[in-house]
Structure 1
Amino acid sequence: MADFAANAKLEQMSPEALEQLKIRVLDTLGVAVGALDSDVLVAIRSLNDDLGGNGQATLIGGGKTAADLAAFHNSAASRYLDFMDAYLAKGETNHPSDNMGAVLAAAEVAGASGRDFLTAFAVAYQIHTRLSDVAPVRALGFDHTTQGAFAAGASAALALGLDADGIANAAAMTATANVALRVTRTGNLSHWKGLAYPHTSKEGMFYALLAGKGITGPEAVFEGNKGFKALAGDYELDWSKEDLESVTRTIIKKYNAEIHSQSALEAALELKGKHDFDPAEIKEVRLTTFDVAYSIIGGGEEGDKRSIRTKEEADHSLPWMLAVTILDGELNPAQYEAERIIADDVQTLMGKVTITPSDDFSDRFPNEMPADLVIVMNDGTEYHAVESAYDGFHSQPLDWDGAVAKFTALAEPFTDEALRTEICETVHRLDEVAEISELTDLLARVSTTRS
């Protein structure tokens, strides 16, 4: 795996994959900027101030700190809104853009080029997605950050300029130390739901720095006695045959909601747009969906989703998300204001939502995300919509103009038009940028408060 990372070249990527990688950089930055004034990010920035640091790496929103603390802050920013990209494997879902905090910090510390940054970021996508394909651990009770730790450590080490031995040691240390429990995303959700991967990103950066000082990790981390395969089971993955195209198999969220909800929300908005019904007259909302959506956000094995009081609980409750979308005609960061989450109309309509898994729909996942939605009115009228994809799904990939539009909507309160334009243009030509500081200097100019 380390040899694969060390030998990776941006030239391996198809033009389509490179474009999609840049789209994900911009998307990740947009959702990070949009979260800068949240209570959680304010608290993290305060902690960074308390801890100090050597000022090697830039914080989105200004200031510098130690590289691992910058990785944590910037990953927390890109993760907090839960509006980032995702990868759907049959037994695992993850968010490869979560690795950007570590890669960006490492590239800045190393004085790396934009091309080096993109290469390391593409490697993170490949490692994270492919391990999730062959070695899912969710059903065993472990979190998707477990495979991500290999990606975070390896990609940070690559961006830092380490050789294959250094990359191997960084990945081994990060992964060995970060086998994480799935309880992070079950039951009543805490802030940790959005901070578990920022922690992994921070650890990847730290262990890459440690590997750069010659510190070694377990050399048989996968196949050794009580190694990763003892947890995940045996599997085959020939890294010499891997490319850098996995980014094209990831998807981007259209709505500010947990990824498996996207097609159901698309159906809800279709009905909202077509029919002039009064939400107060809704008798019931029936959704048929695939097993993963039901299990994680629909009230299945990962816990009841009807006791909703916080942002973390709301964006992982399919009943709540359907209710607020039907009422408001959108699901964006504004819907997660505290007073909107607990509003009587949302809470009442949420109680009328029933969700049922379908074996047929489950068989079609992850190539599709089938959702069959029926809204029944008090007078007996029924409105029906079926969706299996949305703009941003791999069958309908987001294009650059779409990425710019999403970035603009999220970043507008924190930036002026000139800065937004400069960030977008810099990201689109990152493969030509001599030093990544050209981008981080722009990110430092972003405000942490809304204008």
Structure 2
Amino acid sequence: MKEYTKEFAAWAVSVTYTDIPSPVIDMMKKCLLDTLGCAAAGSGQCEIRNLIRGAMNPDESGKADVWFLGETAPLSTALLINGAMNHAVELDDLHKPSKIHAGTVIVPSILTVGSLYNIDGKELLTAMAVGYEVMLRTAIAIGVDSHRRRGWHGTATCGAFGAAAAIGHIMGLNGLQMANAFGLAGTSTGGLMAYTADGSMSKRYHAGMAAMHGYLAAVSARAGFTGPTYVFEAPDGGYGHAASDKSDLEELVKDLSETWHCKDMGHKFYACCGHIHQAIDCALKIRNENGLKPEDIEAVMVTTYDVAGMSWGFSELPKNTVEAQFSFPYAVSAALVDGQAFIPQFAPERLTDPLINSLAMKVTVNTSDKFTSLYPNQWASGVEVKAKDQTYYTEVIGAKGDPVNPLSEQEIEDKFRSLSGGRFSNEQQNEMIAAIYNIERSESIAVIENLMRG
């Protein structure tokens, strides 16, 4: 039996800053800025306020900062909350081949734990790249399509491995300790897609849960508590068998240090599920090029790939923000009405908008073999709009923000400013942007830490 777990772990502990190609370093900086913007926006969402009330014991403080709250908590609690707030507005980074939101798990892991270890900027970027790569490779290896069809949420299930790798790197684990950390992360991971049935808040919880479990795995392994060091490949209960029907564990270790999947992260431009973004691009293109008004539209037909349509093609009007963010009919209709699909379009008060809802009832969603055959490496959709006097059709492979149609550095900065305006002054935003883009020169991450305290 090939020892995939130990080989993967040995690589994770061996990576140094000089091993990481400059395009990966540049991408990590973009992802760091993008993720912290999402956290700033997410920190004020009702589900995060609920989580804080539930998880924070007023009689219990700790060493770790809860972002923007100005309070401390036990490290595991801070990781749970900080991770969840990154995921709360559905704008966090996305890797298509693995269907993973890595930043929402890895960034709070390295900043929350790294602040206690007084790491420097180079270690921040190194641990971040290692965590991202472990998380993405785990998802690719287990077979993202089969994993999803079993009802698993990959950001949660694979996130604990990435968090353990990033935190373990910061702690200076050796190869055997990291293999044990992977084993403990695998045996504690979880995250079900059942939130699609009622739009519950559990999807937000998943990201913080993964960060928390990754930390507990790393700190336990460091103390000598063992986990299964064959966690991926074990014939009985190995993650590859348990999580998917189509795993290929060779993807865990294939071309390590030569191929960096994390250089191909995408950055979301719309505040909803990434599977819907291609359809939104199509709808906006038809709307803007033809001057269509909602009252002119008689029917809208979305064609997409199987995995997207099976969960998010439902026709019922959304009852809450999560359902709206995962509804093709609502999101496409909001874009056609407002010309945008950002946070305001999914706010609770917009969910009863009669113009959006009347148009949403005219939207049908179908799947095609053509688009399904491209998934997961390419995400594509087509939209047909029947107006009173004409029918329009267009299709998109790779929406705005996708690596094939990436946001520019300026657009990422603009997105950060838009998301963080409620938490940071313009001067603080400038300070954060400068700190992140020059973080490898810094002997401390204190500038970022201080701004995130609120």
The answer to whether the aligner puts 1:134 opposite 2:141 as a matched pair is yes
**1:432 Cα shift?**
1.7
**1:53 Cα shift?**
4.8
The answer to whether the aligner puts 1:76 opposite 2:84 as a matched pair is yes
Q: Distance in 2 between matches of 1:14 and 1:133?
A: 21
Which of 237, 256, 267 aligns to 1:242? It is 256
Q: Distance in 1 between matches of 2:47 and 2:84?
A: 8
What are the residue-to-residue correspondences of 1:326-341 with 2, within 5 Å? Answer: 326-341=336-351
**1:52 Cα shift?**
5.3
The answer to whether the aligner puts 1:397 opposite 2:406 as a matched pair is yes
The answer to whether the aligner puts 1:430 opposite 2:439 as a matched pair is yes
| Structure 1 residues 386-421: Cα deviation after superposition (integer angstroms, max 9, x where no partner) | 222233211123332221110001111221111001
Matched residues, percent identical?
22
Q: Distance in 1 between matches of 2:191 and 2:302?
A: 32
Query: Using a 3 Å threshold, how does the CA distance of structure 1 residues 305 and 132 change in structure 2: closer, same or farther?
Result: farther
**Equivalent residue number for residue 94 of structure 1:** 100
**Equivalent residue number for residue 327 of structure 2:** 317
The answer to whether the aligner puts 1:17 opposite 2:31 as a matched pair is no
Q: Distance in 1 between matches of 2:191 and 2:81?
A: 20
SS of the residue 1:285 aligns to = strand
**1:54 Cα shift?**
4.9
Query: Using a 3 Å threshold, how does the CA distance of structure 1 residues 168 and 17 change in structure 2: closer, same or farther?
Result: same
Q: Distance in 1 between matches of 2:63 and 2:200?
A: 31
Q: Distance in 2 between matches of 1:365 and 1:376?
A: 27
Which of 271, 280, 287 aligns to 1:265? It is 280
Instruction: Give the alignment's Cα RMSD to 1 decimal.
Output: 2.0
Query: Using a 3 Å threshold, how does the CA distance of structure 1 residues 235 and 411 change in structure 2: closer, same or farther?
Result: same
Is the 8 Å Cα contact of residues 71 and 104 (structure 1) preserved in structure 2?
no
Which of 268, 289, 300 aligns to 1:253? It is 268
**1:259 Cα shift?**
0.6
| Structure 1 residues 53-105: Cα deviation after superposition (integer angstroms, max 9, x where no partner) | 5532222213222221111111111101011111222xx52211122222222
**Equivalent residue number for residue 174 of structure 2:** 163
4+ runs deviating over 4 angstroms: 51-54
| Higher alpha-carbon deviation: 208-217 or 254-263 | 208-217
Kindly provide the amino acid, as one letter, of the partner of residue 99 in structure 2.
T
**1:147 Cα shift?**
2.3
| Structure 1 residues 315-337: Cα deviation after superposition (integer angstroms, max 9, x where no partner) | 01111100111111111111122
Q: Distance in 2 between matches of 1:230 and 1:411?
A: 42
Is the 8 Å Cα contact of residues 153 and 175 (structure 1) preserved in structure 2?
no
Is the 8 Å Cα contact of residues 287 and 293 (structure 2) preserved in structure 1?
no
Is the 8 Å Cα contact of residues 317 and 330 (structure 2) preserved in structure 1?
no
Query: Using a 3 Å threshold, how does the CA distance of structure 1 residues 398 and 18 change in structure 2: closer, same or farther?
Result: farther
SS of the residue 1:93 aligns to = coil
Q: Distance in 1 between matches of 2:371 and 2:240?
A: 30
Is the 8 Å Cα contact of residues 120 and 159 (structure 1) preserved in structure 2?
yes
Which of 402, 420, 432 aligns to 2:429? It is 420
**Equivalent residue number for residue 57 of structure 2:** 50
Is the 8 Å Cα contact of residues 256 and 333 (structure 1) preserved in structure 2?
yes
Q: Distance in 1 between matches of 2:344 and 2:383?
A: 24
Query: Using a 3 Å threshold, how does the CA distance of structure 1 residues 223 and 372 change in structure 2: closer, same or farther?
Result: closer
Kindly provide the amino acid, as one letter, of the partner of residue 273 in structure 1.
N
Which of 353, 365, 373 aligns to 1:363? It is 373
The answer to whether the aligner puts 1:178 opposite 2:192 as a matched pair is no
Is the 8 Å Cα contact of residues 120 and 445 (structure 2) preserved in structure 1?
yes
Alignment TM-score, normalising by the size of structure 1: 0.91
Query: Using a 3 Å threshold, how does the CA distance of structure 1 residues 214 and 109 change in structure 2: closer, same or farther?
Result: farther
Q: Distance in 1 between matches of 2:355 and 2:372?
A: 31
Q: Distance in 2 between matches of 1:286 and 1:335?
A: 21
The answer to whether the aligner puts 1:346 opposite 2:362 as a matched pair is no
SS of the residue 1:251 aligns to = coil
Which of 8, 13, 28 aligns to 1:6? It is 13
Is the 8 Å Cα contact of residues 80 and 208 (structure 2) preserved in structure 1?
yes
Is the 8 Å Cα contact of residues 57 and 66 (structure 1) preserved in structure 2?
yes
Q: Distance in 2 between matches of 1:95 and 1:337?
A: 22
Q: Distance in 1 between matches of 2:25 and 2:315?
A: 38
The answer to whether the aligner puts 1:283 opposite 2:292 as a matched pair is no
Q: Distance in 2 between matches of 1:305 and 1:8?
A: 48
| Higher alpha-carbon deviation: 351-360 or 125-134 | 125-134
Q: Distance in 1 between matches of 2:20 and 2:315?
A: 41
Query: Using a 3 Å threshold, how does the CA distance of structure 1 residues 415 and 363 change in structure 2: closer, same or farther?
Result: same
Query: Using a 3 Å threshold, how does the CA distance of structure 1 residues 221 and 367 change in structure 2: closer, same or farther?
Result: closer
**Equivalent residue number for residue 143 of structure 1:** 153
**1:48 Cα shift?**
4.6
Kindly provide the amino acid, as one letter, of the partner of residue 427 in structure 2.
A
Alignment TM-score, normalising by the size of structure 2: 0.91
Which of 216, 227, 237 aligns to 1:206? It is 216
The answer to whether the aligner puts 1:221 opposite 2:235 as a matched pair is no
Q: Distance in 1 between matches of 2:157 and 2:253?
A: 19
Q: Distance in 2 between matches of 1:318 and 1:392?
A: 18
Q: Which runs of 5+ in 1 are unaligned?
A: 299-303, 446-451
Q: Distance in 1 between matches of 2:158 and 2:233?
A: 15
Q: Distance in 1 between matches of 2:139 and 2:322?
A: 24
SS of the residue 1:385 aligns to = strand
Is the 8 Å Cα contact of residues 68 and 105 (structure 1) preserved in structure 2?
no
Aligned length: 436
Which of 287, 292, 307 aligns to 1:292? It is 307
Query: Using a 3 Å threshold, how does the CA distance of structure 1 residues 230 and 158 change in structure 2: closer, same or farther?
Result: same
Is the 8 Å Cα contact of residues 52 and 65 (structure 1) preserved in structure 2?
no
Kindly provide the amino acid, as one letter, of the partner of residue 421 in structure 1.
N
| Higher alpha-carbon deviation: 243-252 or 1-10 | 243-252
The answer to whether the aligner puts 1:382 opposite 2:391 as a matched pair is yes
Q: Distance in 2 between matches of 1:434 and 1:53?
A: 31
Is the 8 Å Cα contact of residues 128 and 166 (structure 2) preserved in structure 1?
yes
SS of the residue 2:422 aligns to = helix
**1:51 Cα shift?**
5.6
